[in-house]
């Protein structure tokens, strides 16, 4: 049994201390950086005369902004703890997708405007000018290769194609970005007027890119290596919790020292044929204990379906903890947890550990049928011990869906508007609940949710 752990009880005794997400200061900082980059251009450009030079100048601006944005795009995926656990992995992933698209648009604009402008100046055709630019300017062949790679990455990340691709294929193609950034970096310094003119600008640019490279090496390479050398995790056992829902128990050394909180997840890689090459995010379904972690997974894809067949002793490579759907999000005493299907996983861990007085904590669990209520016995035991409310909603025998309405919620929890609500479930359901909660009077800032839809 994994519930009723001492670790869980200790967590549940903590004081409620809401922490502010550093999202706003970070966004402000990013914009300030963009302003500095624009100032670099402004400072270095005495005038812009004629159409051709306007095109070239626009090409420079978009190029500078694009290169700056790409540095941010990489930093967003460097798994920096402040971003992953305080802003939230889901939100950062959305930032990443958004700024990635923006960066690629800027790069395309930069290429088109620059070549067009140069061909206007030299009165040659666009194609011959493009050839000239690539062959005659320093580091431009590298830049061409890098840009093509960026375009490939952008192309495969486009929604329609992404969905049809295997996650692993998409992921490994995405790693091309690092090569692309390396290849395109040099032409910025050797042909960029702003950098040729000023050693300060060059230094600043090196600092920006080296910082980002340092973050990637530190948090994506060294930190996971250290974690796995220290904790040496292995599969302990697998347990079928409900039809299609499986728990994997993972043993290791000093697992309570991982710093994982209830509601967080790790990216798991099981070192066994077929699973070795993909790392998937799964939430902890119980607070970590000194020698044991547990994840609970619904079989939806190739990876998650294969988890049930894991043999005890299989080595596990984990990266994390990530995610901001933790106790730090809440601002008040009363909490409602809404779980849909396999979305119970983080809610189960929070149910045990969220500090709350008896009666202040409610969990509403939505599933297809009572058989599908995975972890139900544990939840009941926790509810009993903590004096928390536990409710479920399942489809009727005729398959009719239970209505979770604003009025229904208010009837059960008259003071729902004074609750913090954590919700986790399949995307459609989560969106539906979000609107229901808003109608029931819960302010948006008190609805805590993680969604990995980009």
Q: Please give the residue ranges that form the binding site for other proteins (CB under 8 A).
A: 23, 38, 41-42, 45-50, 52-54, 56-58, 61-62, 65, 90-91, 94, 98, 101-102, 105-106, 118, 121-122, 132-133, 136-137, 193, 196-197, 430-431, 434-435, 444, 447, 449, 451, 453
| DSSP symbol at 15 | -
Q: How far is the CB of 25 from other proteins (least distance, A)?
A: 14
Q: How far apart are CA 111 and CA 116, in angstroms?
A: 8
Give the nearer residue to other proteins in terms of CB position, either 8 or 59: 59
Q: How far is the CB of 335 from other proteins (least distance, A)?
A: 19
Give the nearer residue to other proteins in terms of CB position, either 122 or 200: 122
Pairing of strands 420-424, 335-340: parallel
Q: How far apart are CA 219 and CA 242, in angstroms?
A: 36
Q: How far apart are CA 142 and CA 161, in angstroms?
A: 27
Q: How far apart are CA 97 and CA 154, in angstroms?
A: 10
Cα separations in angstroms, 249 against 49, 140, 239, 307: 68, 52, 8, 11
Q: How far is the CB of 193 from other proteins (least distance, A)?
A: 8
- Closest listed residue to residue 448, CA positions, set 428, 408, 419: 419
Q: How far is the CB of 399 from other proteins (least distance, A)?
A: 26
- Closest listed residue to residue 436, CA positions, set 453, 413, 451: 413
Cα separations in angstroms, 314 against 39, 229, 268, 271: 55, 15, 12, 6
Give the nearer residue to other proteins in terms of CB position, either 116 or 351: 116
Give the nearer residue to other proteins in terms of CB position, either 137 or 170: 137
On whether the CB atoms of residues 433 and 409 are closer than 8 A, the answer is: no
Q: How far is the CB of 237 from other proteins (least distance, A)?
A: 35
- List, in sequence order, every beta strand (DSSP E) within 163-242: 233-242
Q: How far apart are CA 388 and CA 3, in angstroms?
A: 15
Secondary structure (DSSP) of 293-361: EEEEEE--SHHHHHGGGPPTT-EEEEEEEE---SGGG--SS-EEEEEEGGGHHHHHHHHHHS---TTSE
Cα separations in angstroms, 85 against 22, 80, 200, 208: 10, 8, 34, 23
Pairing of strands 420-424, 447-449: parallel
- Specify the 3-state DSSP secondary structure of 254: coil
Q: How far is the CB of 143 from other proteins (least distance, A)?
A: 16
- Specify the 3-state DSSP secondary structure of 430: helix
Q: How far is the CB of 367 from other proteins (least distance, A)?
A: 22
Q: How far is the CB of 53 from other proteins (least distance, A)?
A: 6
Q: How far is the CB of 372 from other proteins (least distance, A)?
A: 25
Give the nearer residue to other proteins in terms of CB position, either 30 or 431: 431
Give the nearer residue to other proteins in terms of CB position, either 135 or 211: 135
Give the nearer residue to other proteins in terms of CB position, either 403 or 444: 444
Give the nearer residue to other proteins in terms of CB position, either 287 or 343: 343
Q: How far is the CB of 75 from other proteins (least distance, A)?
A: 19
Our CA angle for 312, 317, 318, nearest 5°, is: 110
Cα separations in angstroms, 115 against 119, 132, 133, 134: 6, 10, 8, 10
Give the nearer residue to other proteins in terms of CB position, either 50 or 312: 50
Give the nearer residue to other proteins in terms of CB position, either 62 or 345: 62
| Exposed / middle / buried, residue 244 (Cβ in 10 Å: 0-12, 13-18, 19+) | middle
Q: How far is the CB of 430 from other proteins (least distance, A)?
A: 8
* Cis status, amide bond into 355, omega within 30 of 0: no
Give the nearer residue to other proteins in terms of CB position, either 197 or 357: 197
């Amino acid at each position: 049994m994994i519930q009723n752990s001492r670790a869980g009880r200790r967590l549940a005794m903590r004081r409620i201390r809401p922490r502010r997400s550093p999202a706003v200061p970070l966004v402000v900082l990013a914009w300030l950086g963009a302003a500095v980059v624009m100032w670099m251009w402004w400072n270095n450009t005495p005038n812009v005369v004629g159409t051709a030079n306007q095109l070239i100048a626009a090409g420079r601006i978009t190029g500078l902004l694009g290169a700056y944005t790409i540095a941010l795009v990489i930093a967003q995926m460097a798994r920096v703890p402040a971003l992953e656990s305080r802003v939230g992995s889901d939100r950062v992933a959305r930032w990443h997708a958004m700024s990635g698209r923006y960066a690629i648009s800027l790069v395309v604009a930069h290429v088109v405007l620059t070549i067009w402008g140069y061909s206007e100046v030299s009165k040659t055709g666009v194609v011959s000018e493009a050839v000239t630019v690539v062959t005659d300017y320093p580091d431009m062949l590298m830049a061409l290769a890098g840009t093509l790679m960026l375009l490939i990455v952008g192309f495969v990340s486009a929604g329609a194609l992404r969905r049809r691709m295997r996650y692993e294929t998409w992921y490994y193609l995405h790693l091309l970005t690092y090569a692309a950034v390396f290849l395109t970096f040099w032409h910025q310094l050797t042909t960029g007027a702003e950098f040729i003119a000023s050693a300060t600008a060059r230094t600043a640019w090196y600092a920006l890119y080296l910082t980002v490279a340092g973050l990637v090496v530190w948090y994506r390479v060294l930190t996971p290596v250290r974690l796995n050398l220290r904790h040496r995790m292995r599969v302990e056992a697998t347990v079928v919790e409900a039809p299609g829902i499986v728990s994997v128990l993972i043993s290791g050394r000093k697992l309570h020292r991982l710093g994982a909180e209830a509601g967080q997840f790790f990216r798991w890689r099981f070192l066994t044929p077929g699973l070795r090459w993909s790392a998937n995010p799964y939430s902890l379904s119980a607070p970590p204990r000194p020698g044991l972690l547990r994840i609970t997974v619904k079989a939806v894809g190739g990876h998650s379906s294969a988890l049930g067949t894991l043999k005890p002793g299989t080595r596990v490579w984990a990266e994390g903890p990530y995610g901001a759907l933790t106790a730090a999000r809440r601002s008040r005493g009363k909490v409602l947890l809404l779980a849909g299907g396999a979305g119970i996983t983080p809610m189960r861990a929070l149910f045990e550990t969220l500090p709350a007085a008896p009666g202040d904590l409610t969990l509403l669990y939505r599933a297809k049928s009572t058989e599908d209520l995975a972890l139900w016995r544990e939840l009941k035991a926790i509810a009993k011990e903590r004096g928390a409310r536990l409710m479920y909603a399942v489809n009727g025998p005729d398959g009719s869906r239970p209505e979770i309405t604003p009025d229904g919620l208010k009837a059960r929890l008259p003071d729902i508007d004074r609750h913090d609500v954590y919700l986790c479930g399949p995307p459609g359901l989560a969106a539906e609940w979000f609107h229901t909660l808003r109608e029931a009077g819960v302010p948006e800032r008190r609805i805590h949710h993680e969604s990995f839809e980009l």
